[in-house]
């Protein structure tokens, strides 16, 4: 049995791994990114696959190329990624929530009440 | 990665040396075989050497003949011819760098050297045999065709022995290749063998006529030079023929 | 540069077809996995490329030459399988000496170091090794020969898991240092998928897929839900396989869903996930249709 997310293609896994490294600060702004060959060695994967992973980051302008020197983290990469993650993760959670709600016949009002109740509880815990 | 270009000559030489190294046991087997036959001859198994004795005087004549060593060497040549066509041999060559042409040429080089070794040792063994028996029995010896008595004859016997050995190897090798190419080739080959050895078979069938058997063609040739030409021509033809099956047989067919 | 070019190639063994009408090209320095079920024709194809066997029909070119009878192809390629022929009289280090003489790029030092790593003594004979060690030795030969065209036909047969992983890692590392064209065949796509760039799937004696590993994976999607839900959602789609997983059905479908269609799937509560490469391959080669169940349901 495979997990719910299925098995992502390796080049996407590589891109995700690099994005995580940028988000958590392992790779700082303007720092050199691993080359496709370093990535290939690191993960025992084909260099072409590693290159494809890097291309995703290049296309979304999370990294930039310096001729003959390799790729470097864009100054605003961390910012961009945070925004992207927020949007993507949150959207997914909301979708799941709505699916589950419709299964359980929970209306919008009831859903809002649950959210509001949970929020209050957390506030109470924090103070 | 740039391509390597190797010449045919280089690979033939390498394959020949490879075959020598990997088949050293084949040459050793020849020596062992000769030694075993020697053992039989020198120990003088009574049956094999007819003597003549009466109560009053004894005439013992030992016919020391090298024939058995010759036969052993020719038998060995036959085995070598078969051995070099086995799939194992060819597959091993193609584990390294090889083509059907280089494989064939390297095999011929191997046969050449093997035949020279067999020819020289077989003829020499005849002379040494006589010496050994002389020393053992102390009887006088009438040497015929030894190195000292008749050097030319001695060398021509070596050449003849080499040619016989080589001929057997090449013919057997080529026949085996044809059979490997197509199993049905066994029929004409068997017919040919029958034709060359047993003309009487055909005699019984009433088709004797003017068939000069292949065997007689070589064996009864009294002129050394004519023998040389005959074997040379036959070997050349057979060798050229061998390229036909060898370039059609597939490697690692399993 | 194209290293292998295959045009309408067929191969028969005494009239029985082993491969039918193959056409594809393999470019220089690409690692391609050759996969297919038993008897699909993988070995036949590889032996033709290595120049051991001839084509029955069509045009096959390796380094721009017909490989059968070609000295150029032989000098620049090596074929490794589990039935390697070595002279029984030679010890392993003597076999290495011969490789050194025949192959221009042979790296003796690497070969010896790998032998040490895998604890295979150099002064023994090939036939005295265990099955796994024999395969490992062959694999070492294939890596150390550094041939521009390196062919491995099921190289990991008999190796344990650790040795398999080590082999693929060693191969990849040496490939990064000395890029070359590599063909790798295996029944098990999972063990080698990471090192592959391309995949050539042979099915029923024909090419079923040739392209990048990720493209094959992304060309399919797995949907899970009840069979009624799934049949409604996949109208007009090409269904590759249907399997029952517990109470749910899992259908692998060709992935040409638009964003709107995807949203609709989500709304209906149908789980849609990417498929593993292995599942995509199994689906492609009809190994996921639950065929074995049909035998018992008859």
Radius of gyration of chain A (CA): 20
- From CA B81, how far away is CA C149, in angstroms rounded? 34
With beta carbons under 8 A apart, name residues in chain B contacting C75.
3-6, 11, 97
Distance from CA of B34 to the nearest CA of C (A): 22
pTM of this prediction? 0.86
What is the count of residue pairs from B and C with beta carbons less than 8 Å apart?
96
Distance from CA of C171 to the nearest CA of A (A): 10
Inter-CA distances, C112 with B7, C102, C108, C119, C168, Å: 29, 17, 6, 10, 18
Please enumerate residues of C whose Cβ is less than 8 A from a Cβ of A.
30-31, 165, 168-169, 172-173, 176, 193-197, 212-214, 217-218, 222, 245, 266-267, 269, 271, 273-277
String of b and e for A20-56 (b: at least 16 CB within 10 Å)?
ebbbeeebeeeeebbebeebbbebebbbbbbbbbbeb
- Tell me, yes or no, if C179 comes closer than 8 A to chain B by beta carbon: yes
| pLDDT classification of A4: cutoffs 50, 70, 90 | very low
Residue with the larger pLDDT of the pair B143 and C297: C297
Cβ neighbour number for residue B215 with a 10 Å cutoff: 14
The pLDDT assigned to A6 comes to: 60
Quick one: which of B254, B85, B252, B1 has its CA closest to C103? B1
Task: Say if the Cβ atoms of C222 and A6 lie within 8 Å.
Answer: yes
Quick one: which of A78, A18, A9 has its CA closest to A45? A9
The pLDDT assigned to C103 comes to: 96
| pLDDT classification of C124: cutoffs 50, 70, 90 | very high
Percent of all residues in chain A with a pLDDT value above 90, rounded to a whole number: 54
| Mean pLDDT, residues B123-143 taken together | 70
ipTM of the complex: 0.88
User: Which residue of chain C is at minimal alpha-carbon distance from B246?
Assistant: C69
Of B18, B23, B95, the CB nearest to C85: B95
Distance from CA of B74 to the nearest CA of C (A): 24
Of C47, C99, C180, the CB nearest to B252: C47
**CA dihedral angle for residue B5, residue B6, residue B8, residue B10, rounded to 10 degrees:** 160
- The full 3-state SS of chain B, as one line of letters, equals CCCCCCCHHHHHHHHHHHHHHHCHHHHHHHHHHHHHHHHHHHCCCHHHCCCEECCCCEECCCCCCCHHHHHHHHHHHHHHHHHCCCHHHHHHHHHCCCCHHHHHHHHHHHHHHHHHHHHHHHHHHHHHHHHHHHHHHCCCCCCCCCCCCCHHHHHHHHHHHHHHHHHHHHHHHHHHHHHHHCHHHHHHHHHHHHHHHCHHHHHHCCCCCCCCCHHHHHHCCCCHHHHHHHHHHHHHHHHHHHHHHHCCCCCCCC
- Tell me, yes or no, if C180 comes closer than 8 A to chain B by beta carbon: yes
- Tell me, yes or no, if A104 comes closer than 8 A to chain C by beta carbon: no
Quick one: which of C286, C277, C259, C285 has its CA closest to C215? C277
Cα dihedral B154, B159, B164, B166 sign: positive
The mean pLDDT of chain B is: 81
Task: Say if the Cβ atoms of C172 and A41 lie within 8 Å.
Answer: yes
- From CA B219, how far away is CA B171, in angstroms rounded? 16
Quick one: which of A52, A53, A41 has its CA closest to A15? A53
The pLDDT assigned to B32 comes to: 93
Task: Say if the Cβ atoms of B18 and C98 lie within 8 Å.
Answer: yes
Identify the H or E element spanning C151.
Answer: strand C149-153
| Mean pLDDT, residues C235-263 taken together | 84
Query: Of B183-197, C113-127, C128-142, where does mean pLDDT reach its minimum?
Result: B183-197
Partnered with residue C248 across adjacent β-strands are: C245
Of A37, A44, A95, the CB nearest to C194: A44
Q: Which long-range contacts (CB under 8 A, 24 or more apart) does A110-117 make?
A: none
Residue B64 phi/psi, 5-degree rounding, is -85, 115
| Mean pLDDT, residues B56-84 taken together | 79
Q: Do residues B189 and B245 lie in contact, with contact meaning Cβ atoms separated by under 8 Å?
A: no
Q: What is the pLDDT of residues A10-41, one digit of tens each?
A: 999 999 999 999 999 999 999 999 999 999 99
Q: Do residues C120 and C112 lie in contact, with contact meaning Cβ atoms separated by under 8 Å?
A: no
Partnered with residue C16 across adjacent β-strands are: C13
- Tell me, yes or no, if A32 comes closer than 8 A to chain C by beta carbon: no
With beta carbons under 8 A apart, name residues in chain B contacting C74.
94, 97-99
The pLDDT assigned to C233 comes to: 85
Quick one: which of C151, C157, C199 has its CA closest to C47? C151
Distance from CA of C102 to the nearest CA of A (A): 29
Tokens for B51, please give them.
């003597």
| Mean pLDDT, residues B100-115 taken together | 96
Residue among C214, C219, C276, C282 with most chain A CBs within 10 A, to mutate = C214
Tokens for B242, please give them.
């061998």
> How far from the centroid of its chain's Cα atoms is residue B127's Cα?
20
The chains in contact with chain B, meaning 3 or more Cβ pairs closer than 8 Å, are: C
Residue A32 phi/psi, 5-degree rounding, is -70, 135
Distance from CA of C38 to the nearest CA of A (A): 25
């Amino acid at each position: 049995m495979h997990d719910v997310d299925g098995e992502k293609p390796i080049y996407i896994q590589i891109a995700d791994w690099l994005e995580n490294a940028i988000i958590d600060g392992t790779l700082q702004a303007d720092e050199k990114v691993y080359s496709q060959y370093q990535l290939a060695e690191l993960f025992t994967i084909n260099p072409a696959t590693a290159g494809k992973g890097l291309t995703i980051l290049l296309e979304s302008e999370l990294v930039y190329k310096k001729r003959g020197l390799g790729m470097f983290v864009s100054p605003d990469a961390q910012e961009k990624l945070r925004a992207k993650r927020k949007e993507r993760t949150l959207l997914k959670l909301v979708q799941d929530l709505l699916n589950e709600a419709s299964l359980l016949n929970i209306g919008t009002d009831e859903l809002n009440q649950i959210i509001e109740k949970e929020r209050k509880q957390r506030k109470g815990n924090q103070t | 990665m740039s391509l390597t270009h190797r010449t045919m000559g280089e690979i033939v030489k390498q394959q020949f040396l490879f075959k020598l190294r990997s088949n050293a046991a084949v040459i050793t087997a020849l020596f062992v075989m000769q030694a075993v036959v020697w053992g039989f001859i020198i120990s003088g198994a009574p049956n094999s050497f007819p003597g003549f004795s009466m109560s009053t005087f004894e005439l013992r004549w030992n016919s020391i003949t090298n024939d058995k060593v010759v036969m052993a060497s020719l038998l060995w040549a036959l085995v070598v011819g078969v051995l070099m066509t086995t799939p194992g041999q060819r597959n091993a060559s193609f584990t390294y760098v090889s083509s059907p042409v280089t494989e064939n040429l390297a095999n011929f080089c191997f046969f050449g050297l093997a035949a020279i070794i067999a020819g020289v040792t077989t003829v020499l063994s005849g002379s040494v045999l006589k010496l050994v028996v002389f020393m053992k029995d102390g009887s006088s010896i009438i040497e015929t065709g030894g190195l000292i008595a008749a050097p030319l004859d001695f060398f021509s016997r070596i050449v003849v022995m080499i040619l016989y050995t080589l001929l057997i190897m090449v013919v057997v090798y080529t026949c085996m290749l044809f059979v490997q190419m197509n199993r049905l080739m066994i029929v004409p080959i068997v017919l040919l063998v029958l034709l060359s050895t047993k003309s009487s078979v055909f005699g019984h069938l009433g088709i004797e006529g003017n068939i000069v058997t292949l065997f007689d063609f070589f064996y009864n040739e009294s002129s050394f030079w004519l023998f040389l030409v005959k074997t040379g021509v036959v070997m050349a033809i057979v060798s050229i023929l061998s390229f036909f099956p060898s370039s059609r047989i597939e490697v690692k067919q399993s | 540069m194209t290293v292998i070019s295959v045009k309408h190639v067929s191969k028969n063994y005494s009239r029985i077809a082993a491969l039918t009408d193959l056409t594809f090209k393999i470019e220089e320095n690409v690692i391609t996995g050759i996969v297919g079920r038993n008897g699909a024709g993988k070995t036949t194809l590889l032996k033709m490329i290595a120049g051991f066997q001839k084509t029955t029909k069509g045009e096959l070119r390796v380094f721009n030459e017909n490989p059968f009878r070609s000295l150029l192809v032989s000098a620049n390629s090596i074929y490794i399988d589990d039935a390697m022929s070595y002279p029984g009289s030679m010890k392993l280090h003597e076999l290495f000496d011969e490789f050194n003489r025949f192959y221009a790029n042979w790296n003796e030092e690497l070969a010896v170091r790998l032998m040490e790593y895998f604890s295979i003594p150099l002064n023994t004979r090939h036939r005295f090794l265990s099955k796994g060690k024999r395969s490992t030795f062959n694999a070492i030969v294939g890596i150390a020969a550094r041939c521009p065209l390196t062919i491995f036909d099921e190289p990991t047969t008999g190796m344990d898991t650790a040795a398999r992983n080590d082999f693929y890692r060693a191969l990849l590392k040496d490939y990064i240092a000395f890029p070359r064209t590599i063909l790798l065949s295996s029944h098990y796509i999972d063990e080698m998928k990471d090192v592959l760039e391309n995949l050539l799937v042979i099915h029923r004696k024909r090419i079923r897929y040739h392209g990048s590993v990720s493209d094959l994976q992304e060309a399919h999607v797995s949907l899970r839900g009840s069979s009624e839900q799934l049949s409604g959602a996949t109208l007009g789609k090409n269904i590759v396989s249907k399997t029952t997983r517990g109470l749910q059905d899992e259908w692998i479908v060709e992935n040409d869903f638009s964003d709107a269609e995807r949203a609709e799937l989500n709304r209906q509560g149908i789980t849609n996930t990417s498929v593993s490469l292995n599942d995509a391959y199994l689906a492609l080669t009809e190994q996921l249709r639950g065929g074995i169940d049909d035998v018992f349901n008859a």
